[in-house]
């Protein structure tokens, strides 16, 4: 108040008062008006001059109508952010007066503020080519962002309809995915900050961010990321060996330390994966900070955010095929409380068994249920059993309805959701069978026998023919070991019926192609982004690579008359853990054609021999 009531400092200026200049302009005298525009556009304008002019403009906003849009545009281009605190305060006051008196200028004001959500552009030229980008190291960047958010809150306070005008501007200003990592990081971070003081926009902002992340995710298949990492590691190794060969001498300590840092770098080799990794880290941090107040989980905040994220999941994630990483925001928030995980499973279950949903959505929901039950460490075995009961009962009812009808034959188009549910159950059993049998083998076997897998496997719909061979083989080995069902006869019969698909290759050669009948994928397969995976790993169930002894053990059936004491001999095998073992899990139909290096998460297709 003291600052605002004090008279402005005297500065050298030309023309009369602002009110006089605007009145003359209205009468057609433009000389002073052009001089005013020239002074305001001067790149060397002093702080005192800016304060002086802004003080007059605040008192004359009533004149700044639509006809003076050009003058307002010049005012909005004033370099106010990197000025003294007095300039910043005066400018914020001017913005408040302007939008409250002349709402016609609301959009330009919002565009100006949002344009500062990324670092300023620095002009860089190499050989007459403009390679400018906004990746600078401005020490005041954080303070500038804080000021921008103050400006946006000021405008929103004066104009309650600000959110509906702001959202389209946030969408159109979102940087292209090929912009620098720093630009994307700053913009996404600032978008999420907006949701704190404009909560009505949270759902739309989350949708915008997740939509952009999905585009990055589907543009960078996991195989491409792994190939890029392997190539980068190989090139690093070659450089190191070349240096050691050329310079066989002791290095000083500083050089050794630098080398260690470079080799342990968390940077992703694939440029788009690097951007995705940074942005996923920001999203995970936002979820954690929103759900926790003073380090403790806030149930109400968590529930509200969960509802918004489920809405985004339904709209964007569920219809998107084969995304690798973005869907983990649901995995992460569900790890905070068991109730959230159970609510998510219930939500997916409703999607799966509702016949009004499109078949492809139902199948994807089945894939999510199976992958979530198998991979989420925080889901207790009692919840797994409850889900298996629900899924298996539905499968038996489905078989009841189909066995007597005219559609009781193997057809993906007719029975896609059924096959997807079968695969989800098989996949869950592969990961969780040791826990299901833990402690009391007889009781565990009794439970598994009650699921009546034999009827599912033997039914006319023949799920073993449709599900991924890698899963079918593991399921067959496990169920044979515990004498639940003997699948190999059906597998052999299906193999005899299989007709290879051939197509004409580029050179006219016949190429055999393997098809994934369900076109299925496992959405919670191993997460490979280096920085953000640190958030996921503590809650993630990795697959334990099977040793030769385990393979042999799977071939030995468990005797029916096993006593309680003998149960412990079987149960000495540990439940899958994530203790530094290279993870191998069944997730690829064509895994038998892939090299071990590139098949993270994929056991060989036929690693268990049929007896």
* Contact present, 366 and 421 (Cβ < 8 Å): yes
pLDDT digit string, tens, across residues 212-256: 999 999 999 888 999 998 888 887 666 655 555 544 544 455 544
Asked if residue 46 is part of any domain, the answer here is yes
* Contact present, 223 and 590 (Cβ < 8 Å): no
**What is d(CA 371, CA 315) in angstroms, rounded to the nearest whole number?**
20
**What is d(CA 437, CA 444) in angstroms, rounded to the nearest whole number?**
4
pLDDT digit string, tens, across residues 449-500: 999 999 999 988 889 988 998 899 999 999 999 999 999 988 888 888 765 5
As a three-state string, the secondary structure of 120-132 is: CCECCEECCEECC
Asked if residue 317 is part of any domain, the answer here is no
Q: Which residue has the higher pLDDT, 330 or 519?
A: 330
Phi, psi of 55 (to 5 degrees): -60, -40
Cβ neighbourhood burial of 178 (10 Å; 0-12, 13-18, 19+) = exposed
Cβ neighbourhood burial of 595 (10 Å; 0-12, 13-18, 19+) = exposed
Determine what percent of the chain is predicted with pLDDT higher than 90.
55
Asked if residue 114 is part of any domain, the answer here is yes
Roughly how many angstroms between the first and final C-alpha of the chain, as a whole number? 89
CA 108 to chain centroid, in Å, comes to: 32
188-192, 463-467, 592-596 — most confident range: 188-192
Range 112-137 burial, b when 16+ CB lie within 10 A, else e: bbbebbbbeeeeeeeeeeeeebbbee
Q: SS3 of 299, please?
A: helix
- β-pairing verdict for 129-130 and 125-126: antiparallel
Range 287-316 burial, b when 16+ CB lie within 10 A, else e: beebbeeeeeeeeeebeebbebbbebbeeb
Asked if residue 129 is part of any domain, the answer here is no
Asked if residue 385 is part of any domain, the answer here is yes
Based on the structure, what is the number of domains in the chain? 2
* Contact present, 153 and 160 (Cβ < 8 Å): no
The confidence band for 395, taking pLDDT boundaries of 50, 70 and 90, is very high
DSSP count for the chain of H helices, then E strands: 28, 6
* Contact present, 136 and 124 (Cβ < 8 Å): no
pLDDT digit string, tens, across residues 411-449: 788 888 999 999 999 999 999 999 999 878 899 999 999
Mean per-residue pLDDT, 337-354: 96
Asked if residue 390 is part of any domain, the answer here is yes
**What is d(CA 525, CA 11) in angstroms, rounded to the nearest whole number?**
66
Asked if residue 104 is part of any domain, the answer here is yes
Mean pLDDT over all residues of the chain?
82
Torsion on CA atoms 302, 304, 306, 310, rounded to nearest 10: 180
- CA torsion sign for 10, 16, 20, 25 is negative
Torsion on CA atoms 366, 367, 369, 374, rounded to nearest 10: 140
Instruction: List the domain range (segments joined by +) for residue 46.
Output: 8-121+139-161
Polymer length in residues for the chain: 611
CA 392 to chain centroid, in Å, comes to: 31
Choose the final residue of a domain: 102, 129, 161.
161
Choose the final residue of a domain: 456, 473, 499.
499
Q: Residue 160, Cβ neighbours under 10 Å: how many?
A: 8
Choose the final residue of a domain: 455, 482, 499.
499
* Contact present, 430 and 481 (Cβ < 8 Å): no
Asked if residue 52 is part of any domain, the answer here is yes
What are the C-alpha distances in Å from 142 to residues 113, 279, 281? Answer: 15, 18, 18
């Amino acid at each position: 108040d003291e600052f605002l009531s004090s008279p402005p400092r005297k500065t050298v200026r030309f023309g009369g008062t602002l009110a006089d200049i605007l009145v003359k302009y209205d009468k057609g005298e433009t000389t002073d008006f052009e001089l005013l525009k020239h002074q305001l556009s001067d790149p060397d304008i002093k702080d005192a001059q800016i304060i002086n002019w802004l003080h007059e403009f605040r008192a004359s906003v009533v004149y700044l109508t639509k006809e003076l849009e050009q003058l307002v545009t010049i005012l909005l281009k004033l370099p106010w952010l990197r000025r003294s605190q007095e300039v910043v305060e005066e400018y914020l006051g001017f913005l408040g007066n302007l939008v409250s008196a002349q709402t016609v200028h609301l959009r330009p004001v919002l565009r100006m503020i949002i344009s500062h959500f990324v670092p300023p552009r620095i002009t860089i030229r190499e050989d007459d080519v403009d390679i400018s980008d906004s990746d600078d190291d401005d020490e005041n960047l954080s303070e500038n962002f804080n000021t921008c958010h103050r400006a946006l809150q000021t405008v929103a306070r004066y104009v309650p309809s600000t959110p509906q005008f702001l959202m389209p501007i946030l969408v159109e200003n979102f940087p292209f995915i090929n912009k620098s990592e720093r630009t994307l990081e700053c913009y996404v971070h600032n978008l999420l900050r907006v949701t704190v003081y404009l909560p009505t926009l949270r759902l739309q902002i989350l949708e915008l961010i997740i939509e952009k992340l999905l585009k990055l995710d589907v543009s960078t298949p996991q195989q491409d990321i792994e190939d890029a990492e392997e190539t980068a590691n190989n090139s690093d190794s070659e450089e190191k060996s070349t240096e050691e060969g050329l310079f066989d001498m002791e290095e000083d300590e500083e050089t050794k330390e630098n080398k260690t840092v470079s080799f342990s770098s968390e940077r992703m080799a694939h440029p788009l994966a690097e951007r995705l990794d940074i942005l996923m880290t920001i999203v995970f941090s936002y979820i954690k900070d929103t759900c926790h107040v003073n380090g403790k989980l806030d149930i109400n905040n968590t529930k509200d955010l969960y509802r918004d994220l489920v809405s985004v999941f339904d709209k964007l994630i569920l219809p998107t095929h084969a995304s690798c990483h973005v869907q983990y925001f649901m995995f992460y928030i569900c790890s905070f409380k068991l109730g959230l995980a159970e609510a998510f499973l219930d939500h997916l279950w409703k999607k799966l068994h509702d016949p009004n949903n499109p078949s492809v959505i139902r199948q994807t929901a089945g894939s999510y249920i199976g992958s979530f039950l198998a991979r989420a460490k925080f889901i207790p075995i009692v919840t797994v059993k409850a889900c298996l009961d629900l899924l298996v009962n539905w499968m038996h009812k489905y078989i009841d309805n189909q066995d007597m009808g005219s559609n009781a034959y193997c057809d993906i188009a007719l029975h896609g959701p059924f096959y997807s549910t079968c695969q989800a159950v098989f996949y869950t059993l592969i990961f969780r069978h040791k826990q299901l049998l833990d402690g009391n083998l007889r009781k565990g076997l009794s439970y598994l026998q009650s699921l009546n897998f034999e009827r599912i496997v033997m039914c006319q719909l023949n799920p073993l023919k449709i599900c991924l061979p890698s899963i079918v083989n593991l399921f067959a080995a496990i169920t044979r070991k515990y004498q639940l069902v003997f699948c190999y006869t059906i597998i052999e019969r299906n193999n005899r019926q299989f007709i290879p698909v051939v197509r004409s290759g580029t050179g006219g050669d016949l190429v055999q192609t393997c098809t994934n009948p369900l076109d299925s994928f496992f959405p919670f397969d191993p997460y490979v982004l280096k920085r953000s995976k640190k958030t996921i790993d503590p809650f993630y169930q990795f697959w334990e690579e099977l040793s030769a002894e385990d393979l042999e053990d799977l071939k030995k059936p468990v005797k029916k008359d096993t006593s309680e004491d003998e149960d412990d001999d079987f149960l000495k095998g540990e439940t899958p853990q994530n203790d530094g073992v290279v993870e191998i899990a069944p997730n690829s139909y064509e895994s038998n054609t892939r090299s071990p290096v590139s098949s993270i998460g994929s056991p060989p297709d036929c690693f268990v021999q049929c007896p």
